[in-house]
């Protein structure tokens, strides 16, 4: 097969040669881990008062970027030490198997091409200056339509909360697609468990008000109630107080931003594209994605779209990948 998918596999294989030296380390890790299990980890072999050596998987990375060693060396079983000697060809075969498994997952979800992997999260979030796509006001949370970055990354945000399709969660998780949800209480309250599950798999759950009103036609007190009660509700239901808030319909005024800031909101992401199961809508004349763009979509299903949430995700991921972009975590950048 000569599709772009093969290119991804080949890249995976080339990667395996670059990482030859890490193979011995992985072998060592497995040895240490298993040995720790045999020794009982925090079992009675440790004298009272002395802390057990941490399992290798939980040990912090060493300053030189290598794997931190346990303080007390656990016994190494002689037979297992041979795992350190995995040959290059064995490593390549293992990488190839892994690459095939990834491609099998990609095809099972109906995608032709593997999603591109986002670059490592930036060490510091991009500085928000008053550039196109960013609106700054003293003392108020920034309103961001496009995150200033040169990386070929875009962000997928999913609003409201009517459709609660576990297949969507599974697809996003299996494909490693980062998402941010903006949840409105009146749609979510019959099943916050769905959003707890999403959060447990790494999806940020953010604020989209209690009743999804057009905030800017309401007074400050109503806006404060709509935003800040949802902060409390999400903190109670999900266990994390959101940092990000999106006003319904993208409609806001100064009262909105003041009210949001008063209950802990640090950023107000908007969008430059909206995704549907069968097409994308762009605000740009060139009808293309740009680095740092925020894409809006919704928790909607067959009743409105005549298509499912996995159909929607398939469309977005295909578009994003075809234009050479990776989906990244909004929280890493904003």
| β-pair partners for 154 | 327
Smallest separation, CB 333 to Zn ion (Å) = 22
102 Cβ contact partners less than 8 Å away, ≥ 6 residues apart:
12, 114
Query: Which is nearer to Zn ion, 16 or 206 (by Cβ)?
Result: 206
Smallest separation, CB 211 to Zn ion (Å) = 11
Stretch that binds Zn ion, among 140-148, 199-207, 240-248, 264-272 (CB under 5 A): 240-248
Smallest separation, CB 212 to Zn ion (Å) = 6
Q: Under DSSP, is residue 46 helix (H, G, I), strand (E, B) or coil?
A: coil
Query: Which is nearer to Zn ion, 248 or 292 (by Cβ)?
Result: 248
248 lies in the binding site for Zn ion (CB under 5 A): yes
Stretch that binds Zn ion, among 99-107, 151-159, 260-268, 312-320 (CB under 5 A): 151-159
Query: Which is nearer to Zn ion, 35 or 158 (by Cβ)?
Result: 158
Query: Which is nearer to Zn ion, 159 or 163 (by Cβ)?
Result: 159
Distances in whole angstroms, Cα of residue 270 to Cα of each of 160, 208, 330: 14, 12, 12
Task: Report the largest interatomic distance among the alpha carbons of the chain, rounded to a whole angstrom.
Answer: 73
161 lies in the binding site for Zn ion (CB under 5 A): no
With CB under 5 A as the contact rule, the residue among 160, 163, 273, 331 that binds Zn ion is 160
Report the C-alpha gap between 89 and 223 in whole angstroms.
Answer: 62
Query: Which is nearer to Zn ion, 212 or 224 (by Cβ)?
Result: 212
If we measure between CA atoms, which residue out of 331, 327, 32, 51 comes closest to residue 172? 327
Q: Under DSSP, is residue 306 helix (H, G, I), strand (E, B) or coil?
A: coil
CA dihedral in degrees (216, 257, 192, 173; nearest 10)? 110
Stretch that binds Zn ion, among 53-61, 248-256, 278-286, 325-333 (CB under 5 A): 248-256
Query: Which is nearer to Zn ion, 160 or 165 (by Cβ)?
Result: 160
If we measure between CA atoms, which residue out of 60, 81, 79 comes closest to residue 70? 60
Residue nearest to Zn ion (CB): 159
Query: Which is nearer to Zn ion, 160 or 332 (by Cβ)?
Result: 160
Smallest separation, CB 184 to Zn ion (Å) = 6
Report the C-alpha gap between 235 and 282 in whole angstroms.
Answer: 33
Smallest separation, CB 269 to Zn ion (Å) = 13
29 Cβ contact partners less than 8 Å away, ≥ 6 residues apart:
56, 57, 67
159 lies in the binding site for Zn ion (CB under 5 A): yes
Per DSSP bridges, beta strands 143-144 and 268-269 are parallel
163 lies in the binding site for Zn ion (CB under 5 A): no
Q: Distance from CA of residue 100 to its chain's centroid?
A: 23
319 lies in the binding site for Zn ion (CB under 5 A): no
If we measure between CA atoms, which residue out of 198, 158, 165 comes closest to residue 296? 158
Smallest separation, CB 252 to Zn ion (Å) = 13
Query: Which is nearer to Zn ion, 141 or 248 (by Cβ)?
Result: 248
Asked if residue 210 lies in contact with residue 185, where contact means CB atoms within 8 angstroms, the answer is: yes
Number of residues binding to Zn ion, judged by CB under 5 A: 3
- What residue ranges bind Zn ion (CB under 5 A)? 159-160, 248
């Amino acid at each position: 097969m000569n599709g772009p998918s093969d290119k991804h596999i080949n890249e995976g294989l080339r990667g395996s040669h670059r990482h030859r030296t890490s193979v011995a380390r992985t072998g060592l890790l497995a040895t240490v881990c298993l040995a720790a299990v045999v020794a009982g980890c925090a079992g009675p072999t440790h004298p009272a008062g002395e802390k057990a050596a941490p399992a290798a998987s939980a040990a912090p990375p060493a300053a030189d970027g290598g794997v931190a060693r346990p303080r007390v060396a656990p016994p190494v079983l002689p037979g297992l030490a041979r795992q350190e000697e995995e040959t290059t060809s064995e490593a390549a075969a293992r990488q190839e198997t892994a690459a095939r498994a990834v491609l099998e997952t990609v095809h099972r979800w109906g995608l032709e091409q593997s999603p591109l992997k986002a670059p490592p999260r930036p060490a510091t979030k991009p500085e928000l200056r008053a550039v196109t796509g960013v609106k700054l006001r003293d003392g108020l949370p920034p309103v961001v339509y496009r995150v200033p970055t040169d990386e070929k990354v875009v962000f997928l945000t999913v609003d409201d909360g009517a459709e609660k399709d576990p297949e969507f969660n599974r697809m996003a998780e299996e494909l490693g697609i980062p998402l941010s949800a903006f949840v409105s209480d009146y749609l979510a309250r019959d099943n916050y468990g769905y959003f707890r599950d999403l959060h447990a798999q790494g999806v940020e759950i953010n604020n989209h008000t209690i009743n999804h009103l057009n905030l800017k036609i309401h007074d400050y007190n109503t806006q404060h109630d709509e935003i800040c009660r949802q902060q409390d509700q999400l903190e109670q239901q999900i266990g994390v107080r959101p940092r990000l808030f999106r006003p319904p319909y993208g409609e806001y005024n100064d009262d909105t931003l003041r009210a949001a800031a008063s209950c802990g909101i640090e950023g107000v992401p908007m969008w430059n594209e909206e995704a549907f199961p069968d097409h994308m809508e762009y605000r740009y004349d060139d009808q293309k994605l740009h680095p740092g763009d925020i894409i809006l979509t919704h928790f909607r299903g067959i009743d409105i779209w005549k298509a499912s949430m996995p159909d929607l995700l398939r469309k977005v991921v295909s578009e994003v990948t075809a234009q050479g972009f990776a989906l990244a975590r909004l929280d890493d950048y904003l």
